[in-house]
C-alpha cells in the first residue's frame, strides 16, 4: 500500500476507488475518463432529438421525485446530546417531585418529564395533601406551562419592553422608597403558601417599614378563620379525619371537591363507604345545602334549604341535640339564645330530630363540617358541636392555620376594600401586584379597576395579560411553577420543595425573585432563595438532606402538631350569622373548574364539563325547575322526554337579566334539579374581559353582581327573561336513567339482606341464562379459543388479562380522571362549537344521572369509558380490522389502519368512541402546546377513531421494565392507568384479572360487581361495584 497517493494536487483524486485505480490500469484510466459506462456519456457530442427527449424526460421524472421530499417531510436534524444529562435515557421518562400551591395550599406532585419536557403531573404519595392523587388544577397546570398566550417579555404600558428598562426604573423608584421607608408603597398578593416567599416578604416589609401588604383571595377561608378564632381564641384550621367518622353532617361543605384539603378528605371519606363494613362500620352522611354539589350527590340524605337557611338548620340541629341531652358546656346558654325557625327554614322538625338522634348515637365518632361560604357563626357552632360530641381528637383536630401564619389574619374582604379606599384617597403611589387579578376578581361595587387608575405605578406580575395587567404600568411575566424553585406548606403545615422541570421558557421571573430584586434581598435567584431558606432549617450535612428532600418532595416531620383548641365564651352571638332571608336568593360560588377565574385560559379546564351541569365553556345562572316555571322560561329549557321525565333539551337557552341591588347582569339560564326553592346559583370565574384566546368570550362575569359586604350571597334578586337566547355546549342533557340497570344502587339494609342478589343480572336484567353454563345465552357458538391466532381469538384464561373495576361508592364525580386522561393520552380540545355538535374528544365520560323527584333528586355518577369488551361489538363491524383484540384482552385501535367509517362507534352500546372529525391536532402545530404531548402516545390525525386504551403505553412500559428483569408477568399494582392514578378516592382499580391475588380480580368476585349492559353479551372487562347508600329509615319515612 505504499503507492497510495493521498496528495490531492497530484492527479486530482484524493481517494482510490478500486484496486485498478491504484494500479493505474489503462482500462481504468479510460473508465475514469469516460466517467459513465460506454454509451452513457455521448450526450455532449452528438445529441439526437430522440436522445434529448429521453434524457429530459428522465430528468423531469427525477426532479418530480426529489420534489416530493420537502412536501412529505421537512428536514429535521436529530442531534445527540453533547453532554449526556445525568441518568437520562432518551425515551424513558423521568419523574421529579415538586409542589404546586393553589389558594394557599400546597400539594406535592410528581412530574413526568420526557427529555426535558414536563408532560404529565401525578400526585406525590408521600405528600399528606396528595396521597398520590391530584386535583383538577394540578392536572391542568401542565397545559398552563405551554400556554401560547403566556407573556414572554415585560410590558410597559402595554408595549413590549425589557428587563433592563424595568430594573433601571425600579431601582430609582425603590431607592426613593428606601429613603422614605416605603410611604405610598403597597403590595397585593393572593395567599402565599411558600415559607421562603414569606421570608422574602418579611424582608421587604423590613426594608420598607411603611409599606402595606394586602392579601386577597376571592376564594378564601375568612369565615372559617373568623369563626374558629372567635370560639377557640386561636388561628386554627380544622383537620378532619373522615376515616373515623360514622355520622357526618355537612353544612354546605363540598369537602370532596371544592373545599380545603379535599384530596385527603375525599379519600378518607370513601374509606368509610364500603358497605361490607356493615351497618356499624359504614358511615352515613347528611348534607344540608342549597346548591347541588358533588358531595351532595354522595349524601345518604340531602336536605335542600334556601341559602339563607342553611346555617339556621345547623342551629336547629344544635338546639335539638341540646334538647336530646347533649351538654354543650359553657356554650349551652349561648346556643339556646340563638333562634332559628324550622318552618321558615322549610324543614320538618321530625327530620331534624331524627338526624340529631342519629348523630348523638355516634357521640365521639360523628363529625360536623361547615363549608367555606357559610357565615362565621356556623363555623363556630360546628366547632361547638364537634367539641360537645367528643369528636375533637377523634374525627377532627385543630392545627395552626398555615394561611394565617404566612399571610396574617386580615380577611380578604376587609383587606381589599381598605386598599381600594387607600387607592381612591391617593395614598397609594406604587402598587406591586403579585400573581393576583383584583381588577377582575374583586366584587364589582369596589370598583377596583377604576381605582387602579389613581395609582401612579402599578407593577403587576402575572403569567398572562389579564384585566389587572391591562391597567398596569408594568406587566412583568411570571414564571410557571414548573419553571422555578420554590416550596410550599400543605394544609397541615407539611413543607415540600418545588424544583423546576424546565428552564423558564420566556423572559419571566418568580415572585420571590422580583421581591428580592426590589428589596435588596441577599439572594436573587429562586434556587438560592429557597435553598438558603432551608439551609437554616436543615442542620448538619445539609447537602445530603437537601437532596433527600428534593428526591422525596416532602420535608419530613414538618406537619404542624395538633393543638387542643381553647374555648372562648360569649363570642357566638357576636359572629355574623345567616343572612336575612328575602325573595329569590342567589349564591355565588367559585367554579369547580376555573377556580376564581385564573384558569380561564386553560383549554382543558374550559372544555372539562362542569361535574353537575355538564356545561362546558360557559357558566350559567342555575335555577331550580320550579323557579324556571315562575320565571316563565322553563318552556324554553325543559322538555318531558318519552318516559315523562323532565330533561334539559335545547341548545339555545333563554337569557335572563339578574338584578341585585342596582347591579345587573345578563347571563344564560340553566335548569338544575335539586336546587332549593327560589334559589339561583352563579359561579364566578367566567366572563373574563381581558384574557388569552381560549378564555375570550366564555361565560358571564358573576363578580359584576357581587358586593363586598356580602359577596357570596344575595337576597331579593330579580331575575327576568330578556327574550334573548344563547347557545350552550352541554355534554349530557339527559337527566334520567330511563329505569335501565346502568347505575345499580341498593340501600345498605337491602344489601345486607341479600348480598349476592343485590346487584345481580337476575335482579336487574332478564337476559336468558344458559342452564348448563350459567352464562348468558349467545346466539352463535363462540369461536373456539386458540393461542396466537392472527386476530381476536385468544385464550383469555392464560397470561395477563387486563381488567378494571370502578367502585361507584367511591366515585364522587369530580372529573379529575377525565383531565388526567386528557393529559396522558394527547386528547385534543375541540372548542365550544364542536362540543355543541357532540364531538368532544374526552375518552372518559363522567355520566351524571338524577334519580327521583325532579325538584329534589338524588344524583349518581358513573365513569364511562371503553369497557374493553371481550365480545367487542366494534371489532366485528370494522371493515378494515382497525380495531382488534390483543392477547391480553385489550380492545386495540390501530390508528394507521383506521379509515374512519365510524361504524365501530355506531355499534358501541356504550358510545365511548371518539372520532377526529377535523384535524383537531392542528392546534398544536408550531405551538408550544406540542411540547406537552406524551411521546408514548400517538397523536391522531383527522379521520381516525380513538378511545380509551387502558393506557396501553403504561402497560408496555412496565412490560419492558419487567422483561428486562426476566419476568414475563407484571406484578399487581405496577400498571396504573392515568385515570386511576389521579383519582382522589381510589374509585378505579386496574390489574390482571387472571391473577387471583390481584386487587382487581378480588373485586371482580365481589357481590357488588356487575357489568353495564352485560345482557348484550359484550363481556366488558370494565365492571362496576354497585352503589350502596346508607339511609336512615326514620328519615326516609319523614322525607316521603
Interface residues with other proteins (CB under 8 A)? 642-643, 732-734, 736-740, 742, 766, 834, 837-839, 845, 847-849, 862, 864, 873, 875-881, 897-903, 905-907, 909-919, 941-945, 1012-1013, 1016, 1018
Distance (Å, whole) CA 88 – CA 130: 27
Q: Which stretches does DSSP call E strand in 174-235?
A: 185-189, 212-215
Of 622 and 904, which CB lies nearer to other proteins in the complex structure? Answer: 904
Distance (Å, whole) CA 839 – CA 846: 15
Of 721 and 881, which CB lies nearer to other proteins in the complex structure? Answer: 881
**Please, what is the minimum distance in Å from the beta carbon of residue 736 to other proteins?**
6
Contacts of residue 583, defined as CB under 8 A and 6 or more positions apart, other chains included, come to: 678, 715, 716, 717
Contacts of residue 612, defined as CB under 8 A and 6 or more positions apart, other chains included, come to: 292, 293, 294, 297, 672, 813, 848, 859
Bridge partners, 188 (sequence order) = 214, 433
**Please, what is the minimum distance in Å from the beta carbon of residue 884 to other proteins?**
8
**Please, what is the minimum distance in Å from the beta carbon of residue 733 to other proteins?**
8
Of 689 and 839, which CB lies nearer to other proteins in the complex structure? Answer: 839
**Please, what is the minimum distance in Å from the beta carbon of residue 455 to other proteins?**
48
Bridge partners, 497 (sequence order) = 487
**Please, what is the minimum distance in Å from the beta carbon of residue 620 to other proteins?**
19
**Please, what is the minimum distance in Å from the beta carbon of residue 1012 to other proteins?**
8
**Please, what is the minimum distance in Å from the beta carbon of residue 900 to other proteins?**
2
Name the residue among 327, 324, 383 with its Cα closest to residue 354: 324
Of 880 and 969, which CB lies nearer to other proteins in the complex structure? Answer: 880
Residue with cell 396501553: 952
**Please, what is the minimum distance in Å from the beta carbon of residue 847 to other proteins?**
4
**Please, what is the minimum distance in Å from the beta carbon of residue 740 to other proteins?**
6
- Whether the Cβ atoms of residue 634 and residue 625 lie closer than 8 Å to each other: yes
**Please, what is the minimum distance in Å from the beta carbon of residue 893 to other proteins?**
13
Of 757 and 1015, which CB lies nearer to other proteins in the complex structure? Answer: 1015
- Whether the Cβ atoms of residue 644 and residue 719 lie closer than 8 Å to each other: no
Give residue 826's region: left, alpha or beta (phi > 0; psi -120 to 50): left
Of 173 and 881, which CB lies nearer to other proteins in the complex structure? Answer: 881
Distance (Å, whole) CA 767 – CA 761: 8
Contacts of residue 587, defined as CB under 8 A and 6 or more positions apart, other chains included, come to: 290, 291, 307, 373, 679, 680, 681, 682, 712, 713
Beta strand 988-992 with 802-807 is: antiparallel
Name the residue among 212, 220, 222 with its Cα closest to residue 433: 212
**Please, what is the minimum distance in Å from the beta carbon of residue 944 to other proteins?**
6
Of 149 and 733, which CB lies nearer to other proteins in the complex structure? Answer: 733
- Per-residue b/e over 966-978, b at no fewer than 16 CB within 10 Å? eeeebebebbbbb
Name the residue among 1012, 637, 628, 647 with its Cα closest to residue 850: 647
Helix (H/G/I), strand (E/B), else coil: 205: helix
Of 140 and 945, which CB lies nearer to other proteins in the complex structure? Answer: 945
Name the residue among 205, 206, 211 with its Cα closest to residue 182: 211
Name the residue among 489, 420, 486 with its Cα closest to residue 455: 420
Q: Which three cell numbers stand for residue 660?
A: 341585585
Maximum separation of any 2 CA atoms in the chain, in Å: 123
Of 309 and 916, which CB lies nearer to other proteins in the complex structure? Answer: 916
**Please, what is the minimum distance in Å from the beta carbon of residue 850 to other proteins?**
11
Bridge partners, 843 (sequence order) = none
Distance (Å, whole) CA 661 – CA 191: 30
Q: Which three cell numbers stand for residue 339?
A: 333562634
Q: How many CA atoms lie within 13 A of 798 on its CB side?
A: 9
User: In this structure, how many other beta carbons lie within 10 angstroms of the beta carbon of residue 773?
Assistant: 9
Of 689 and 763, which CB lies nearer to other proteins in the complex structure? Answer: 763
Helix (H/G/I), strand (E/B), else coil: 562: coil
Name the residue among 653, 828, 641 with its Cα closest to residue 724: 653
Of 280 and 766, which CB lies nearer to other proteins in the complex structure? Answer: 766
- Whether the Cβ atoms of residue 84 and residue 942 lie closer than 8 Å to each other: no
Q: What is the CA radius of gyration of the chain?
A: 33
**Please, what is the minimum distance in Å from the beta carbon of residue 642 to other proteins?**
5
Distance (Å, whole) CA 972 – CA 991: 6
Its sign, for the CA torsion 632, 634, 635, 636, is: positive
Distance (Å, whole) CA 443 – CA 422: 17
**Please, what is the minimum distance in Å from the beta carbon of residue 739 to other proteins?**
7
From residue 351, give the alpha-carbon distance in Å to each of 346, 606, 611: 11, 40, 29
**Please, what is the minimum distance in Å from the beta carbon of residue 912 to other proteins?**
8
From residue 899, give the alpha-carbon distance in Å to each of 173, 175, 540, 876, 941: 64, 68, 64, 15, 11
**Please, what is the minimum distance in Å from the beta carbon of residue 619 to other proteins?**
21
Distance (Å, whole) CA 1019 – CA 999: 19
Beta strand 1022-1025 with 745-747 is: unpaired
Of 428 and 898, which CB lies nearer to other proteins in the complex structure? Answer: 898
**Please, what is the minimum distance in Å from the beta carbon of residue 862 to other proteins?**
8
Q: How many CA atoms lie within 13 A of 271 on its CB side?
A: 12
Of 539 and 879, which CB lies nearer to other proteins in the complex structure? Answer: 879
**Please, what is the minimum distance in Å from the beta carbon of residue 764 to other proteins?**
11
Amino acid at each position: 500500500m505504499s503507492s497510495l497517493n493521498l496528495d490531492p494536487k497530484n492527479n486530482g483524486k484524493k481517494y482510490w476507488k478500486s484496486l485498478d485505480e491504484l494500479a493505474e490500469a489503462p482500462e481504468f484510466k479510460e473508465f475514469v475518463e469516460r466517467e459513465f459506462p460506454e454509451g452513457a456519456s455521448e450526450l455532449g457530442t452528438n445529441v439526437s432529438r430522440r436522445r434529448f427527449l429521453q434524457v429530459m424526460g428522465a430528468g423531469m421524472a427525477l426532479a418530480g421525485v426529489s420534489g416530493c421530499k420537502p412536501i412529505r417531510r421537512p428536514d429535521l436534524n436529530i442531534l445527540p446530546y453533547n453532554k449526556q444529562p445525568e441518568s437520562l435515557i432518551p425515551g424513558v421518562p423521568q419523574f421529579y417531585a415538586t409542589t404546586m400551591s393553589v389558594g394557599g395550599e400546597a400539594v406535592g406532585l410528581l412530574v413526568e418529564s420526557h427529555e426535558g419536557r414536563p408532560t404529565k403531573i401525578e400526585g406525590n404519595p408521600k405528600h399528606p395533601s396528595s396521597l398520590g392523587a391530584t386535583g383538577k388544577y394540578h392536572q391542568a397546570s401542565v397545559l398552563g406551562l405551554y400556554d401560547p398566550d403566556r407573556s414572554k417579555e415585560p410590558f410597559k404600558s402595554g408595549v413590549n419592553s425589557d428587563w433592563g428598562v424595568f430594573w433601571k426604573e425600579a431601582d430609582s423608584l425603590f431607592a426613593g422608597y428606601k429613603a422614605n421607608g416605603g410611604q405610598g408603597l403597597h403590595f397585593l398578593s393572593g395567599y402565599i403558601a411558600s415559607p421562603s416567599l414569606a421570608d422574602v416578604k418579611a424582608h421587604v416589609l423590613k426594608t420598607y417599614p411603611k409599606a402595606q401588604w394586602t392579601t386577597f383571595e376571592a376564594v378564601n377561608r375568612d369565615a372559617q378563620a373568623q369563626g374558629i378564632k372567635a370560639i377557640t381564641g386561636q388561628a386554627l384550621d380544622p383537620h378532619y379525619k373522615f376515616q373515623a367518622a360514622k355520622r357526618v353532617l355537612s353544612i354546605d361543605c363540598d369537602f370532596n371537591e371544592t373545599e380545603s384539603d379535599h384530596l385527603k378528605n375525599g379519600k378518607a371519606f370513601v374509606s368509610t363507604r364500603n358497605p361490607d363494613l356493615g351497618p356499624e362500620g359504614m358511615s352515613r352522611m347528611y348534607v344540608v345545602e342549597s346548591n347541588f354539589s358533588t358531595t351532595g350527590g354522595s349524601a345518604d340524605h340531602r336536605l335542600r334549604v334556601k341559602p339563607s337557611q342553611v346555617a339556621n338548620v345547623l342551629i336547629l340541629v344544635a338546639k335539638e341535640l341540646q334538647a336530646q341531652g347533649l351538654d354543650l358546656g359553657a356554650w349551652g346558654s349561648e346556643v339556646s339564645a340563638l333562634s332559628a325557625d324550622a318552618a321558615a327554614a322549610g324543614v320538618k322538625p321530625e327530620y331534624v330530630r331524627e338526624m340529631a338522634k342519629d348523630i348523638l348515637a355516634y357521640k365521639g365518632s360523628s363529625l360536623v363540617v361547615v363549608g367555606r361560604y357559610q357565615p362565621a357563626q356556623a363555623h363556630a357552632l360546628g366547632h361547638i358541636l364537634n367539641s360537645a360530641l367528643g369528636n375533637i381528637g377523634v374525627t377532627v383536630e385543630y392545627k395552626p392555620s398555615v394561611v394565617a401564619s404566612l399571610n396574617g389574619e386580615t380577611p380578604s374582604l376587609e383587606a381589599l376594600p381598605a386598599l381600594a379606599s387607600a387607592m381612591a384617597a391617593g395614598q397609594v403611589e406604587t402598587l406591586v401586584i403579585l400573581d393576583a387579578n383584583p381588577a377582575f376578581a374583586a366584587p364589582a361595587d369596589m370598583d377596583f379597576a377604576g381605582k387602579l387608575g389613581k395609582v401612579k405605578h402599578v407593577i403587576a406580575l402575572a403569567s398572562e395579560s389579564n384585566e389587572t395587567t391591562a391597567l398596569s404600568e408594568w406587566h412583568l411575566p411570571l414564571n410557571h411553577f414548573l419553571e422555578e424553585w420554590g416550596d410550599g406548606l400543605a394544609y397541615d403545615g407539611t413543607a415540600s420543595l418545588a424544583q423546576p422541570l424546565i428552564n423558564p421558557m420566556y423572559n419571566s421571573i418568580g415572585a420571590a425573585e422580583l421581591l428580592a430584586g426590589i428589596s435588596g434581598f441577599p439572594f436573587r435567584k429562586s434556587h438560592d432563595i429557597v435553598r438558603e431558606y432551608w439551609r437554616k432549617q436543615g442542620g448538619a450535612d445539609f447537602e445530603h438532606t437537601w437532596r433527600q428532600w428534593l428526591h422525596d418532595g416532602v420535608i419530613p416531620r414538618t406537619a404542624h402538631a395538633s393543638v387542643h383548641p381553647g374555648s372562648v365564651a360569649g363570642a357566638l352571638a357576636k359572629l355574623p350569622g345567616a343572612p336575612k332571608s328575602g325573595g329569590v336568593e342567589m349564591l355565588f360560588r367559585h367554579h369547580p373548574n376555573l377556580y376564581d377565574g385564573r384558569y380561564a385560559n386553560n383549554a382543558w379546564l374550559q372544555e372539562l364539563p362542569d361535574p353537575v351541569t355538564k356545561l362546558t365553556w360557559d357558566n350559567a345562572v342555575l335555577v331550580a325547575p320550579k323557579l324556571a316555571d315562575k320565571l316563565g322560561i322553563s318552556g324554553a329549557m325543559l322538555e318531558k322526554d318519552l318516559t315523562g321525565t323532565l330533561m334539559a333539551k335545547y341548545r339555545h337557552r333563554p337569557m335572563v337579566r339578574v338584578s341585585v341591588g342596582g347591579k345587573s347582569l345578563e347571563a344564560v339560564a340553566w335548569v338544575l334539579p335539586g336546587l332549593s326553592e327560589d334559589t339561583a346559583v352563579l359561579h364566578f370565574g367566567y366572563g373574563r374581559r381581558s384574557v388569552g384566546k381560549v378564555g375570550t368570550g366564555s361565560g358571564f362575569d358573576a363578580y359584576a353582581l357581587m358586593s363586598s359586604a356580602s359577596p357570596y350571597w344575595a337576597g331579593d334578586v330579580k331575575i327576568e327573561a330578556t327574550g334573548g337566547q344563547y347557545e350552550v355546549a352541554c355534554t349530557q342533557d339527559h337527566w334520567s336513567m330511563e329505569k335501565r340497570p346502568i347505575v345499580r344502587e341498593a340501600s345498605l339494609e337491602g344489601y345486607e339482606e341479600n348480598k349476592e342478589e343485590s346487584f345481580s343480572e337476575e335482579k336487574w336484567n332478564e337476559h336468558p341464562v344458559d342452564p348448563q353454563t350459567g352464562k348468558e345465552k349467545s346466539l352463535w357458538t363462540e369461536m373456539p379459543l386458540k393461542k396466537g391466532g392472527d386476530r381476536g381469538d385468544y385464550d383469555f384464561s392464560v397470561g395477563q388479562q387486563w381488567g378494571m373495576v370502578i367502585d361507584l361508592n367511591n366515585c364522587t364525580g369530580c372529573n379529575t380522571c377525565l383531565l388526567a386522561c386528557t393529559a396522558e393520552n394527547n386528547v385534543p380540545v375541540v372548542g365550544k362549537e364542536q362540543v355543541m355538535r357532540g364531538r368532544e374528544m374526552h375518552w372518559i365520560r363522567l355520566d351524571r344521572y338524577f334519580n327521583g323527584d325532579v325538584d329534589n333528586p338524588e344524583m349518581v355518577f358513573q365513569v364511562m369509558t371503553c369497557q374493553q369488551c371481550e365480545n367487542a361489538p366494534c371489532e366485528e363491524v370494522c371493515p378494515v380490522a382497525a380495531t382488534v383484540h390483543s392477547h391480553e384482552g385489550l380492545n386495540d385501535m390501530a390508528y394507521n389502519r383506521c379509515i374512519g367509517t365510524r361504524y365501530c362507534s355506531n355499534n358501541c352500546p356504550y358510545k365511548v368512541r371518539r372520532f377526529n372529525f377535523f384535524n383537531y391536532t392542528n392546534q398544536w402545530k408550531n405551538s408550544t402546546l406540542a411540547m406537552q404531548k406524551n411521546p408514548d402516545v400517538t397523536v391522531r390525525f383527522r379521520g381516525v377513531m380513538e378511545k380509551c386504551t387502558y393506557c396501553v403505553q403504561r402497560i408496555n412500559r412496565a412490560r419492558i421494565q419487567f422483561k428486562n428483569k426476566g419476568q414475563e408477568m407484571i406484578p399487581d399494582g405496577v400498571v396504573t392507568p392515568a385515570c386511576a392514578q389521579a383519582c382522589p378516592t381510589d374509585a378505579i382499580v386496574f390489574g390482571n384479572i387472571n391473577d387471583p391475588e390481584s386487587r382487581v380480580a378480588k373485586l371482580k368476585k365481589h357481590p357488588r360487581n356487575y357489568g353495564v349492559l352485560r345482557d348484550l353479551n359484550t363481556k366488558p372487562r370494565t365492571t362496576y361495584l354497585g352503589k350502596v347508600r346508607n339511609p336512615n329509615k326514620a328519615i326516609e319515612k319523614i322525607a316521603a
